[in-house]
A and B are shown apart, each in its own frame.
Chain A
Amino acid sequence: MTYLSDVAALGRKDLRVELRGRDTLPAMLLFVLSALVVFHFAIPDDAGDTAAYGLLWVAIVFTALLGLARAWVPEQEHGVLEGLLLAPCDRSAIWLGKALATLAFLLASQAVALPAFVLFFEPLDMTALAGVLLADVGICAVGSLMSAMAAAGRARELLLPLLFLPLAIPLIVGGVGSAVSPDGERFLLFLLLYDAVFAVLSWASFEYVVTE
């Protein structure tokens, strides 16, 4: 099972690099809290309760974008990505390790954001939380790939949101639906479908995005 141990080694490396550098995770935490506070002032009093859930998802997606924009930066310093590409490990393992590490950061930021949301706005039930988890997987899978694509180009901070947001729309529908709709399970199933399709697609196509 060398593939999995490669992924583990790479994922661990990402966690270690972030813990040492300590720039992305604190920024994500602060950003999501600030966003929630901004939303309090941005929503008029008579807007429905459900509007808050929509805004939660906006906050999640943009926090994720913050993290994703920085995802491949360590690989670009000193050209390390080439070092990884030279190694005999499967290229998709590089993507998987990165996606898992990004997922860890996103979950960490949500460990703060979700309680804050419940405190400031509305309660969250199990379906809603399951929706957050499932959507996180999709966000990190697709986002890691798009981030790698954008990283090769010129205006990478501008490009990533453009590439990512249309793909994130179904995730937002799934996430909000699981929180708001009485038939939340349908949305969970939908998120599962999204994850299956796009995670596999991302896993298979990473190789083509990083090689010449």
Chain B
Amino acid sequence: MGLALVLALIVVPEDGDQGISQRIFYIHVPIALTAYFCFGLGALKALLLLWRGDDRYDLESYVAIHQGTIFGALTLITGAIWAKASWNVWWTWDSNQLVLFLVLFLFYCAYFMLRFSLEDGPRRARSSAVYALFGVALIPVSFLAIRLAEDFIHPTVFTREGPQMTGSIFATFLVSWAAVTLLAYVLYRVELAGKRLDADLRELREALE
């Protein structure tokens, strides 16, 4: 895990000459992509849970979505920093990416409220799984909605300054993406192992009663 963190940090100084806006891009986009991936993974585990009827997938789905939400929050934060650096505002409704993440963030926060409000058991596992699937369906539909909403919500005032992906920049981006993905994977394994340990301990205690 330490290696992943170091990797992620090293990548950034490599582009010290390109300004903060560029630098944040290298972290912001990989984080966003990783968040999508985590939500996707969570939905996949959810599907497996419903299909195979095996509650073991519940924990895996939950941890994946938990990671996704954390990275989603980071996406919003780095996105805000990027917006401040590029256009001097902390938030803009013009970045479809950011707005989409805001909607998804709300959705997945509700996921945790759902889990919090239901008793542990097959009911909670199944309902969470169904909700996770809805989340994944919501991603493209929301994106489409936001695109359509551009029509009448805000006139586009800011032009988007995405960096051109030429050779060395692309390489840097890839390294950064790999580092963030690795970080996410490590965090996922750590959290999953921790939660599994908790569950096993509890089972052991029960069996001894």
**Direct touch of chains A and B (CB < 8 A):** yes
Could you mark each residue 69-99 of chain B with 1 if its beta carbon is under 8 Å from any beta carbon of chain A, else 0? 0000000000000000000000000000000
Is residue A211 contacting chain B, with contact meaning CB distance below 8 A? Answer: yes
Stretch at the interface among B26-34, B57-65, B111-119, B155-163: B111-119
Which residues of A from 142 to 185 have beta carbons under 8 Å from B? Answer: 142, 145, 149-150, 152-156, 158-159, 162-163, 165-167, 169-170, 173-174, 176-177, 180-181, 183
B139 to chain A, nearest CB (A): 11
A177 to B152, CA, bound (A): 7
Contact of A208 among B104, B110, B126 (CB under 8 A): B126
**Are B122 and A212 in contact, with the CB atoms below 8 A?**
yes
Nearest B residue to A145, CB-CB:
B130
A12 to B107, CA, bound (A): 33
Is residue B199 contacting chain A, with contact meaning CB distance below 8 A? Answer: no
Is residue B142 contacting chain A, with contact meaning CB distance below 8 A? Answer: yes
Is residue B170 contacting chain A, with contact meaning CB distance below 8 A? Answer: no
Is residue B133 contacting chain A, with contact meaning CB distance below 8 A? Answer: yes
Is residue A76 contacting chain B, with contact meaning CB distance below 8 A? Answer: no
**Are B148 and A173 in contact, with the CB atoms below 8 A?**
yes
Contact of A166 with B123 at beta-carbon distance under 8 Å, contacts A152-B118, A173-B145, A177-B148 already known: no
Chain B: interface residue total (CB-CB under 8 A): 32
**Are A201 and B145 in contact, with the CB atoms below 8 A?**
no
If over half of B's interface residues share one DSSP class (helix, strand or loop), that class is named, otherwise mixed; here it is helix
Name, among A153, A176, A187, A194, the residue most crowded by chain B CB atoms within 10 Å (CB to CB).
A153
**Are B130 and A208 in contact, with the CB atoms below 8 A?**
yes
**Are A155 and B145 in contact, with the CB atoms below 8 A?**
no
Instruction: Kindly list chain B residues whose C-beta atoms are within 8 Å of the C-beta of A209.
Output: 126-127, 130
Instruction: Kindly list chain B residues whose C-beta atoms are within 8 Å of the C-beta of A169.
Output: 103, 142, 145
A108 to B198, CA, bound (A): 51
A86 to chain B, nearest CB (A): 17
Instruction: Kindly list chain B residues whose C-beta atoms are within 8 Å of the C-beta of A173.
Output: 145-146, 148-149
Is residue B190 contacting chain A, with contact meaning CB distance below 8 A? Answer: no
Is residue A16 contacting chain B, with contact meaning CB distance below 8 A? Answer: no
Contact of A167 with B107 at beta-carbon distance under 8 Å, contacts A149-B130, A173-B145, A181-B152 already known: yes
Instruction: Kindly list chain B residues whose C-beta atoms are within 8 Å of the C-beta of A180.
Output: 152
Name, among A145, A166, A169, A209, the residue most crowded by chain B CB atoms within 10 Å (CB to CB).
A166
Is residue B5 contacting chain A, with contact meaning CB distance below 8 A? Answer: no
Q: Which residues of B contact A (CB under 8 A)?
A: 50, 103-104, 106-107, 109-110, 113-114, 117-118, 121-123, 126-127, 129-131, 133-134, 137-138, 141-142, 144-146, 148-149, 151-152
Closest 9 CB pairs of A and B: A153-B117, A170-B145, A166-B107, A173-B145, A162-B110, A205-B130, A208-B126, A153-B118, A173-B149
Q: Which residues of A contact B (CB under 8 A)?
A: 50, 142, 145, 149-150, 152-156, 158-159, 162-163, 165-167, 169-170, 173-174, 176-177, 180-181, 183, 186-187, 190, 193-194, 197-198, 201, 205, 208-209, 211-212
Name 6 interchain pairs, CB-CB below 8 A, sorted by A.
A150-B114, A159-B117, A162-B109, A170-B144, A194-B141, A205-B130
